[in-house]
Chains A and B, each alone.
Chain A
Amino acid sequence: MKEEDKILVLGIGNIGRQDDGLGWLFIDYLDTLKFGNFDLEYRYQLQIEDAELLSNYKTVIFVDATKENTKEGFYYRTCETSNNHSFSTHELRPETVLFLANSLYQQRPRAFILGIEGFSWNLDIGLSKAAAFNLDKAKQFLFEKIVEYDDIGMVSND
């Protein structure tokens, strides 16, 4: 498989903040599957240099915890580029990083956001029971997409 045909999966969050670790735990799960076509990365937050990383891939998935009230415990959406920078410190949104990949490197990978609903955000290690349940549902969802369709972009749960 050519490097550019691989899928980059970025897990965003902090394992030391309870459900904020959902993104990382999802990456841990993908790691156990040992699929050769995934490159996995952990992030506390996205940075401008991630634009350079993204520019080497055709497909990218951002996985993060969300406070959004989701119907199924998670959402899986197409991520569009946006230059609407939040203006806060150094943290960047997935849409902005995509925008920068296009603006700086003229690359526009297709991108998706897997947002897994969390509930507890205190300084502690370990998911809440409800977040762990949602994580399992998100795992099953993506696994089925990979196995049944062999294409993570074919189906959205929106």
Chain B
Amino acid sequence: MNMNKIVIDPVTRVEGHGKVTIHLDEQNKVKESFFHTVEFRGFERFIQGHPYWEAPVLVQRLCGICPVSHHLAAAKAIDQIVGLEPEELSLPAQKIRKLLHFGQIFQSHALHFFYLASPDLLFGFDAAPSKRNVVGVAIEYPELAKKGILMRKFGQEIIKMIAGKRIHGISTTPGGVQKKVSVKERDYFLNGKDIPSIDTMIEWSREIIDFIKIYHSNNKKWLDTFAEYPSGHLGLVDKETGFLELYDGNLRAIDAYGNTTLDDINNDDYQHYFYEGVEKWSYLKFPYIKNLGREKGWNRVGPLARLNVIDGISSSHAQIEWLEFKAASQGKTNNKTMYSHWARLIEILHCAEMMKSLLEDDDILGNDLIRRGERRNEGIGIIEAPRGTLIHHYEVDNKDRITRCNLIVSTTHNNEPMNQAVNWVANNVLNGKPKITEGMLNQVEVAIRAYDPCLSCATHAMGQMPLEISLYDHAGKIIDERRR
């Protein structure tokens, strides 16, 4: 059969360079669709031969957006190599690292919601591209934009306090952290004199959740149906309570109907449960749970998945919001892609509440910063990065050199879900249409953007970061193309 082909290359307002192709037949019916990641970097190979203590510093270079996540996942793995499990670090070290992690997720989620996702929600799919961006938001919703700026700044200032600078700072050392927090540094975030205080961050986080709830009630029909498809969900949960855990917990997965598919396994066992599939048309791998197979074993990760797999949230306001979020899907597993934004904002609130709790905890002022155990030759660190479950795994030789590195980053887990999202839009929006409009193409991107993909991390890619879209006819000729 002859086929037409639509290509979206690059996809805009995501981190990295992605490309979408949609193949049509002669009647413009969608035959098949793919979300390609077309860059390759090979960080896992570069890092071999380096001393293990360099890993947390080197892997930060994977990404300018979530370097802290890579830094901390690698640090947890290297802790094991120096003989320490996460709970064996000193309390100051554990809490300072967690404060850093919450600051990172807070600023990353703020970046995504205010700068990347909100233009679609505020202006709609069909708004002119020249308006449907962060500049448009700044012009028409300046107070919202300013709050977004200050929320992101708050998270970045937390990172700067602990790591020395906002991007690619260094805070951890094998077995702990390099510096404690001073009273003066802590008060900067509590007293609200120089920047809005942590209490203001909590207040604004609640305000923006109110905004998204109103948005959901006004747009329920399309939010409930747009890019809804069954999937597994994967995330860390607290080892004792099953609550939301972003720094250190057990891995839990459920299927689209809430049945457990991965039952709170220890981090060290991950490789017994996961495989990574490959496809010729993408540098991004396709992880899946081994015993379920490539077809059924894939999972979403990130805010929506996390709020699906947990039993609750330890911070009080976020817990209330989570209960309301769960009620919106009648307590069932939520497979609606657009609910990712609501979930992400609940996590923003959780991070703000956790930052307040840690900033008010005198343990972060402590001097017991570094510990050591018995040297090992292997370390595994798993955390929940802003975009989902992040796995770092290192093996080292007796000369302290890294001999093997395996990274499964959040966007890699979301590879199959993003392909499913593209497929949904192709079949439900583009299918059979005689003309493809800009608004239709943007819907493909909206579906991908809900995952906040970081393709440069996922493929460990180099190059510029634009996103593109193209369209091919049944003879393989490009009939429409969008480059941004």
Query: Which A residues are closer than 8 A to B by beta carbons?
Result: 16-17, 42, 44-45, 47-49, 51-52, 83, 85-92, 96, 99-100, 103-104, 123
Contacts and interface: CB of A to CB of B under 8 A. Distances in A.
A89 B465 contact: yes
Interface in B116-137: 116, 129-130, 133-136
Interface residues of B, number: 36
A103 B149 contact: no
Contacts of B12: 87-89
Contacts of A89: 12-15, 116, 465-467
A5 to B, nearest CB: 20
Most chain B CB within 10 A, of A48, A86, A89, A90, is at A89
Nearest to B13: A89
B139 A83 contact: yes
A99 B139 CA distance: 10
Given A17-B462, A89-B116, 7 more contacts: A16-B61, A44-B64, A48-B145, A51-B149, A85-B135, A89-B13, A89-B467
A88 B467 contact: yes
Contacts of B133: 85, 87
Given A16-B61, A99-B135, A103-B142, A85 B130 contact: yes
A53 to B, nearest CB: 9
Contacts of A96: 135
B148 interface: yes
Contacts of A51: 138, 149
Interface in B156-178: 156, 165, 167
26 contacts: A16-B61, A17-B462, A44-B64, A44-B167, A47-B111, A47-B115, A48-B115, A48-B134, A48-B145, A52-B146, A52-B149, A83-B135, A85-B134, A85-B135, A87-B130, A88-B12, A88-B484, A89-B12, A89-B15, A89-B465, A89-B466, A90-B111, A90-B115, A100-B135, A104-B138, A104-B146
B484 A49 contact: no
B150 interface: yes
A86 B61 CA distance: 25
B128 to A, nearest CB: 10
Contact of B465 (A49, A83, A88, A99): A88
A13 B382 CA distance: 30
Contacts of B465: 88-89, 91
Contacts of A85: 130, 133-136
B152 interface: yes
A99 B65 CA distance: 23
A48 B149 contact: yes
A108 to B, nearest CB: 15
Contacts of B467: 88-89
Q: Is the interface of A mostly helix, strand, loop or mixed?
A: loop
B138 A48 contact: yes
B153 interface: yes
Interface of B: 10, 12-15, 41, 61, 64-65, 111, 115-116, 129-130, 133-136, 138-139, 142, 145-146, 148-150, 152-153, 156, 165, 167, 462, 465-467, 484
Nearest to A51: B149
A85 B119 CA distance: 13
Contacts of A83: 135, 139
Nearest to A91: B465
A18 B102 CA distance: 33
B167 A90 contact: no
Nearest to A96: B135
Contacts of B153: 49, 52
Contacts of A42: 165
10 shortest interchain CB distances as A-B pairs? A85-B135, A44-B64, A88-B466, A49-B149, A87-B484, A85-B133, A89-B465, A52-B149, A88-B484, A100-B138
Nearest to B14: A89
Contacts of B145: 48, 104
Contact of B148 (A17, A48, A99, A123): A48
A90 B15 contact: yes
A140 B65 CA distance: 34
A146 B484 CA distance: 39
A103 B465 CA distance: 26
Contacts of B10: 88
Contacts of B14: 89
Contacts of A99: 135
A123 B149 contact: no
A19 B116 CA distance: 29
Contacts of B138: 48, 51, 100, 103-104
B152 A49 contact: yes
Contacts of A87: 12, 129-130, 133, 484
A152 B126 CA distance: 45
A98 B137 CA distance: 15
Nearest to A14: B64
Contacts of B149: 48-49, 51-52, 104
Nearest to A105: B146
